[in-house]
Structure 1
Amino acid sequence: MVLMILITGATGTIGSEVVRQLAQRGEKVRALTRDPSKAQAQARARARVPDGAGTGGGAGAEAEVEVVRGDYLDPASVDAAMAGASAVFLVGVLGPDDADRDRALVEQARAAGVRRVVKLSAIGTGDPAVGRVGTWHLPGEQAVRGSELEWTVLRPSAFASNTLSWAEAIRTGEPVPNMTGDGLQGVIDPRDVSEVAVEALLSARHAGHTYTLTGPETLGVPDQAAILADVLGRPVATEDLTPDESRARLTEWGMDAEYVEGVLAGSAYVRGGGNAVVTEEVLRVLGRPPRTYREWAVDHRAAFGES
């Protein structure tokens, strides 16, 4: 029986939803964040999340979430958060320089007596064709596999929620950027990734598995734009960017040079068809098909200024 589950990255796209789903199930949850006020606000908002966004379970009273402050650069704060936890959701890599932090999180979990770890990784990890970005999660994956803990690795494809970055352009009638050409991806709803994470945190039957998580179909940027246009009832144009134009755009957004090159390598991999992958892992774990991008778009249409 899992007694306390620690969620790192608890205010992020996946972590916040893992917290919500676990609390809805009545599990004892501790949320680690650098900004406790943000996590508390998310906890208060959970009751306003539509029923369709949950796990399909949730019978009984929702558990209170314990929010603790912690920073990966302050190991003592992470050690304190790990104390008493029997399972941990690990969200460790933020960029190319964070591999040591990822390994440290695994060691801290082991030293704290944690029994089970679920690591959030990324599709294509370890594939040389992805470029250096494909190595960012490798040290963390290697650490969990060598930790002697019950481990599960999740490798999700592109998140449907990535298109939230288009919201301002769509509201103002501007074209959305396309850095991947006609390249296709098994775009996945982050709620499905979180639900798989919850199952892996709660059940030992997922120990020793690496799950590549995708949606039910492959989509390119033009496909997603067309679906959004249909859902929103207005045109959504796309703008094809060359690698140099993409580099300039990413730099304008404040990314450092090494991160930019990693993103460009990943974009080239997608553009060349490397990420045109659909798996049945979500179905295998959850017993139902993954949500479609259209379902995600309908549920989040207000973020784009729906008509």
Structure 2
Amino acid sequence: MSGFDDGEPAVGLGDLRLFAVVAEELHFGRAAARLHLSQPGLSYRVKALESALGYQVLARNRRGVRLTPAGEVLLAGARRLLGEAHRVVDDGGRVARGELATVRVGFVGTALYSLLPEVLREARARHPALRVRVAEHKTADQVRLLQLGQLDLGLVHLPVAPDNGLETTPVLEDPVGVALPSGHRLAGADAVALADLAEEEFVLFPRELEPQTFDRYTDACVAAGFAPRVAHEATGLQTILALVAAETGVAFVARSVARHLTRSGVVFRPLTGPAPRLVTGPARPVGRDHAGAALLREVILDLTSGDRSN
């Protein structure tokens, strides 16, 4: 008797676990107690296993129980299979919980100086198997990529249009200051009133890249009594600062960024009065479940549950 029928094993994982316990104890009474079986019931199950296998795995005599050579081979294999079964079941649960997922995350540049590094460190600490892939994108690009399913989670500047199918949560407010040429008339001030910039030319990014942030800046200027004159447009922060250093204009810079940057020929000053503030938060598509993205969003919300004004 081979113990096999049409290539399928005649015993299952439950049979192997039962055998492994008996083999470890080499005592039917103790094994029965561990398995919550009666001793006669356990003896019956072992005999049925041997019958299904077609060979003896346990030798019984008055001195006790021992493994046969075939039983020793079976025990080694059973332990490997049971261990692998536990890993498979555990991995399935971790995938279901998002712990083995890959999360594609977009972020605005200012998040690199404030929230993102802390989020990535905490995510690795909590979920070491969670794979997070980050890419910097302007908010408008993140909205599009989230809608297309090419990002799972975004860290965007808020607000975004309410009809874009995204769930957003504001978690961080970042006061905005001004970058001035180091020889500027206001460079020596401790702080600058926004109204004092009414006659200045500004270096800004194109509105279509960050419409909500652009509008925050211009609305604050209007509240201070003037419409900003945009002399130059640039998409990268370093380019914007290079233009400021060249004395072609002044620029708005978030305080979290200014804290971490130095640039020859540029000074950063806080703004007073109706100064704009950047609001940042996670965004995800409504109705699209991604367990890994949910775990990362939970990390973000936990880290920002207190006052996260920069």
What's the TM-score once normalised by structure 2's chain length? 0.24
Larger radius of gyration: 2
Per the normalisation by structure 1, the TM-score is: 0.24
